[in-house]
Amino acid sequence: PHSRITYETNESSRVVQQQLWVVEGKIEIQLGETSYALGQGDCLAMQLDQPVIYSNHSAQVARYILVVSNQLVPALKESL
């Protein structure tokens, strides 16, 4: 209840993707400049290429399942 988690992102050779399912309560997610209001049963897939903030503004417990995929980005090849 009344909690906030912030993750900053930086330049990386990896692509990080997350999929979040809300099991109970309500969660607000701010991905960069875009906000999403999620409730029980809602799902959001996102690529973490900008800061993300997870917030629970209510007095109720919010529970969610988060799946993370972390993939190496192949190096770009220059043709000669």
Residue 80 carries which DSSP code? -
Full residue range of the structural domain in which residue 39 is found: 3-69
Tell me whether residue 28 is in a domain: yes
Q: Rounded to two decimals, what is the model's pTM?
A: 0.75
Query: Domain count of the chain?
Result: 1
Closest CA to 35 of 62, 48, 53, 61: 53
In the chain, what percentage of residues exceed pLDDT 90? 60
**CATH of residue 37:** 2.60.120.10
CA 56 to chain centre: 14
d(CA 6, CA 13): 21
Q: Is residue 78 part of a domain?
A: no
Q: Read off the pLDDT of residues 41-58 as tens digits, 9 standing for 90 and up.
A: 999 999 988 999 999 999
pLDDT of residue 43: 98
Position 59 in a domain: yes
Residue 62 lies in a domain: yes
Do 66 and 27 meet the contact criterion of CB atoms below 8 Å apart?
no
